[in-house]
Chain A
C-alpha cells in the first residue's frame, strides 16, 4: 500500500437532477490520515458529493476510487463494509432501541462478535460521555446526544474514511467539544476524515486543508487559511464580509 497516495480519489464526478447541474466535474483527493474540510454555501453541491461518496447516489460521469479500487456505484452497505462510513446531517439512529443496542447493531453489522461489541460500546459510551443515557431508548435522547450516538456508531469499527455531514449543527457547546476532541484524538492515530460544515471556527481548528464549492463546482482548494482568504470564497460563501 502506497502511504503517500490519496486514500480516496474523486475523479471528475458530475451529477444532474433534471435541469439542475448539482455537481459539475468535481475532482478531490483525500489524503490518508488527513481531515479535509468541504465547505460552500447552501445548494453548492457538498451533500450531493457526499451522497456519491457514500453510495447513496450514482454519479452521471466520473470515477471514485478507494485505495485504487473503483467504488463508483457501490451500494452504501457495501461501502461501509469496505471502510467508508458516514454520519448524516439528519441523525439516523434506531429510535426504539437503547443507545447500547444501537452501538451493538452497528458493530455486529461489521462482523464483530457480541462480546467484542459490548466492550467497544462501553469504551465509546465513556469517551462520548453518554453514560447517563446509555440504557435509554434513542428516541428519548436530545438532538446532540443522538448526534454523539451516531458518531459513536460510525466508530464501532474504525473506518478507513469517515464522512461527516454537519456533525456540529445544533449541538450544545460541551458536546461539540467532546466531538471535536474525539476527532482530534482519532486523527492523531491516523484516521482520515471528510468534514462538511458551515462552522468556520471548527473548520479552521480541525482541517489543515479544505475544498470550497459553489454552484456544483470547486472554486478553491488547498490550505484552509488560504481557501478562506480567497476573494471568490468570501464572495460566494461568506457574503463578502470575512474577517
Chain B
C-alpha cells in the first residue's frame, strides 16, 4: 500500500532525502581529479539549478508561468556589479542588495502581472525581461552596455566555488522545503491546482502568488550575483530569452513541482549541452525535442517517473 506515503508532506520529505543524497554524490565528484574547465562547467550548471529552483517555486509549485527568471538573475548580477563599479561597495554589501533589488522588482512586476492568467502572464513577464535586457544593453554610460561589467570575486579557487554553490543549493532546497511543508506551501499548491477553488476556500490568492513571485525573483537575483562573482563578469547576455528557455526546459525535464527536479534537469541539460557541443551545434534541437517528449509523455519529469517507479515497487512488495 502506498497509503500515507502519498501525503504531500511525506512526498516532499522523500524528495528532500533524494536531493540530499544527490548532493552528497555530487560532493564526491571532485575526488576524480577534474580539470578546471570541467569544474567550471559544473559550477555553471549549479548556477542554472539555483535559478531553476527559484522558477520552480513560482511555476511548479504555484502554477504561475513567468518568462523572466534569467532577467532577474541578470538584475541581481548587475546590482552587485554596479554598486561595486560606481560606489566601490564590496560584495558583502552587493550580495544582500542583489537579493533586495530583485525582490523589490519582483514585487513591482508581480503586482502588475499577477492579476493576469496563463499566456497573458507569460507574455507580460517576457516583455519585462526583454525591456530589462535592452535597457541594460543600451545604457552604455551606466552599465558599459554589451561590454559587461567586472565583478570582484570571492575566491580564486574553482573547487571552492564548486562547494560554495553546492552549499547554496542545499540551503535553498531546505528553505523551499520548509516553506512548502508549512501552510504557506499548501496554499501555493492549492492555487496551482485550482486558483478559483483556492479563493473559494478562503485563500487570498493574489497575496500568496505575489509572495511566491518575490521569493522566486530574489532566488534568481542571488544566483545571478553569485554567477557574477564566479565569472567576474556580468553582461546583458545573462538575460537573453534563450536562457529563460534553457531554465524552463531544465525544470520540465527534471520534474516541475519537486525539489530534486530542477537540480536533475540542470545537470542533464547543461552537461548534455557541453557534451553535444563536440558533436555540432545541435544542442537546442536536442533539448527542444526532449522538452516536447517530456511535455507530451512524461509531464511529471524525471522525478515523477522515479516516484511512479518507487510507488509501484512498494505496491509489488506488499502484494
Contact = CB atoms under 8 A, between A and B. Distances in A.
B201 A80 contact: yes
Nearest to B196: A92
Interface stretch (A102-110, A185-193, A214-222): A102-110
20 contacts: A54-B200, A75-B199, A77-B201, A92-B197, A92-B200, A93-B194, A94-B190, A95-B194, A96-B192, A96-B257, A97-B8, A97-B193, A98-B8, A101-B186, A105-B201, A105-B203, A108-B183, A109-B183, A135-B2, A135-B3
Contact of B189 (A88, A96, A135): A96
Contacts of B194: 92-95
Contact of A95 (B193, B198, B204): B193
A234 interface: no
A36 interface: no
- A75, A76, A88, most chain B CB atoms within 10 A: A76
A32 interface: no
B193 A109 contact: no
A46 interface: no
Contacts of A153: 201
Interface string A96-127: 11101100111011100010000000000000
Contacts of B7: 98, 100-101, 135
B6 A135 contact: yes
Interface residues of A, number: 29
Nearest to A109: B202
B156 to A, nearest CB: 46
B205 interface: yes
B203 A135 contact: no
A80 B204 CA distance: 10
A94 B6 contact: no
Given A92-B194, A94-B193, A77 B186 contact: no
B183 A96 contact: no
Interface string B174-193: 00000000010011011011
Contacts of B5: 135
Nearest to B300: A96
Q: Is the interface of B mostly helix, strand, loop or mixed?
A: helix
Contacts, number: 84
- B2, B183, B189, B198, most chain A CB atoms within 10 A: B183
A114 B6 CA distance: 17
Contacts of B197: 88, 92-94
A15 B193 CA distance: 30
Contacts of A54: 200
A76 B201 CA distance: 8
Interface string B1-25: 0111111100000000000000000
Nearest to A102: B190
A110 B198 CA distance: 12
B153 to A, nearest CB: 43
Given A77-B205, A135-B3, A135-B7, A94 B200 contact: no
Contacts of A142: none
Contact of B199 (A76, A97, A105): A76
Given A75-B199, A114-B183, 5 more contacts: A77-B205, A80-B202, A92-B200, A105-B189, A109-B198
A98 B190 CA distance: 11
A97 B191 CA distance: 12
Given A100-B7, A108-B183, A76 B200 contact: yes
Interface in B184-242: 186-187, 189-190, 192-194, 196-205
A86 interface: yes
B183 A97 contact: no
A50 to B, nearest CB: 11
B35 to A, nearest CB: 43
Interface in A63-88: 75-77, 80-81, 85-86, 88
A28 to B, nearest CB: 21
A177 B192 CA distance: 32
A4 to B, nearest CB: 29
A23 to B, nearest CB: 20
Contacts of B190: 94, 97, 105, 109
A94 B189 contact: yes
A101 B8 contact: yes
B300 to A, nearest CB: 10
A26 interface: no
B203 A109 contact: yes
A98 B192 CA distance: 14
A136 B6 contact: yes
B1 to A, nearest CB: 8
B200 A88 contact: yes
